[in-house]
A and B are shown apart, each in its own frame.
Chain A
Amino acid sequence: MDTILRINNLFAGYGKECVLNDISFEVEAGKKVCIVGESGSGKSTLLKSIHGFAGVSVTGGSIEIERNILLGIVPQNPGGSFNPIRTYKAQIGEALKSNNIDFKIEEVEKTLQTLGLSDAKRALRARPYELSGGMNQRMAIATTMLLEPGILLCDEVTSALDVKTAGIVVEQLLEINRLRKTTILMVTHHLGIASKMADYIGIMKSGKMLEYGPAKEILDNPQNEYTKNLLKALPRLKVN
């Protein structure tokens, strides 16, 4: 398998404050990777530095991305990335145009259907404020997917959603990965979600990558004390 993203001894932060401390890992093409960490662990900063956000400054190390690969990012709160009173059709059209991609209605509808929005025409006519959080989140993923990114970066995409909707969104991310072979890099605080979708899991704490490896290894045989605690703390359904 080809390595699509390689991060070498990355140090990054905001201004003088260093948030990420010597992070290294590799992502293979077509794989699903979840970075798990609690709030303040630096996982969102990691995502931002990979995507090249202006506010994040890399002070050491390197981020290598395979050539001609587009990065797509889905934010935690889709409400902030759409204009609430413009139709999705107009906004998606604009996003495509600015990336020099033609707006093909069949293509758009197909993508929306992959994400479980069966009535794609109605969804396109809708405005963000008219739709629920889960619907908006799926529209955000769809918009990003239309840009045909090589890597889909997801920042806590499920944490603002209901359990039920979160499950559906995770299913659909898996579906996208299966159909289009899109590499997914997701950060989440929910180990359960990671166990459900990830091929590789990284555990982060206070800016450091404590463990990184195949999901099965991390979950079944964690080496780090913190990972063990995290696994123990996760509530599990108890029937009798």
Chain B
Amino acid sequence: MPDSDIVLTGKNINKYYVDKGKKMQALKDVSFYLKEGEILGIVGESGSGKSTLLRHISCLEKPDGGTFFYKGVEYTGKSASFAGAFLQMIFQDAQMSFDPRMKMKKAVVEAQKNCSHDKLSGILKAVGLDESLLEKKAGNMSGGQCQRMSIARALCSDARILLCDEITSALDVTTQAQVVALLQQLREKEGLAMIFVSHDIALVSMLCDRIMVMKNGECVEEGQTGKVLGNPQHEYTRELLDNLIELKM
């Protein structure tokens, strides 16, 4: 595993929550790595801890144990703005990813003051959005447009890693396909690495190089997508595959 092209590593991440006096473990000894230009898929049901893991990777929350490395340098416990320099997160709720009172042109380049107009229009073109949308607010845009816009915002920051938290689950099937195609294109053209969290195992199988299956805060299986889904070792993975509702043709 020690590979020179590994960009992101997490080792033995643990997180506890106290809920009504009971101590709950949200993440149990989760370890992972992400190579350059790779898409890692994380699947699991709601409550499996996959979104929690992303929030820890991006330093939005602090773990109770474990360490994170970016290109071999530890960044555990640093601020979110520190992590924001090399990774950006895209959220499930596209509309709420933008301040409802802010125009897009302000929200997109919020902290990247040095983002030139040429660069921004290049990015908008890359994500397939019209520049006129910059004058709008999130409430006047469709879910798909908002989600593209949040990808554009992530690209403005020069981050090389995208963390995608169920970014298509609130979108229509056709819009979902467009957003997924955009991610694939960004990986090919820009060489971005991504962690793609989703409950849709079929979608993950189409997009991701490697896959990680999570259940109750634990990583139960990890490996190449084809291997894991073609020959699942863990019972839970098999269960997920069995219950998949697929198009019957």
Contacts and interface: CB of A to CB of B under 8 A. Distances in A.
Given A38-B174, A39-B172, A163 B201 contact: yes
Given A238-B205, A240-B230, A164 B243 contact: yes
A234 interface: yes
B45 A193 contact: no
Contacts of B173: 38, 189-191, 230, 233-234
B249 A163 contact: no
A239 B227 CA distance: 8
A67 interface: no
A166 interface: yes
A229 B181 CA distance: 14
A233 B177 contact: yes
A86 interface: no
Contacts of A166: 243, 245
A122 interface: no
B203 to A, nearest CB: 4
A195 B247 contact: yes
A163 B243 contact: yes
B233 interface: no
Contact of B240 (A163, A191, A236, A238): A163
B199 interface: yes
Per DSSP, chain A at the interface is helix
B206 to A, nearest CB: 5
A233 B174 contact: yes
B72 interface: no
Given A233-B177, A234-B247, A239 B199 contact: no
Given A164-B240, A239-B226, A193 B206 contact: no
B247 A163 contact: no
A98 to B, nearest CB: 34
A234 B200 CA distance: 11
Nearest to A40: B172
A229 B202 contact: no
The listed residue with most B CB atoms (<10 A of its CB), out of A170, A220, A238, is A238
A230 B172 CA distance: 10
Contacts of B244: 163, 167, 237
A168 interface: yes
Nearest to A236: B202
B177 A237 contact: no
A131 B119 CA distance: 51
Nearest to B168: A235
Contacts of A231: 247
A147 interface: no
A236 B201 CA distance: 9
26 contacts: A39-B172, A162-B46, A163-B199, A163-B201, A164-B240, A166-B245, A167-B243, A170-B245, A190-B173, A192-B245, A192-B247, A192-B248, A193-B245, A195-B246, A195-B247, A219-B249, A220-B249, A233-B173, A233-B174, A234-B247, A235-B202, A236-B202, A237-B202, A237-B246, A238-B202, A239-B229
4 smallest beta-carbon distances between A and B, as pairs: A233-B177, A38-B172, A167-B243, A235-B203
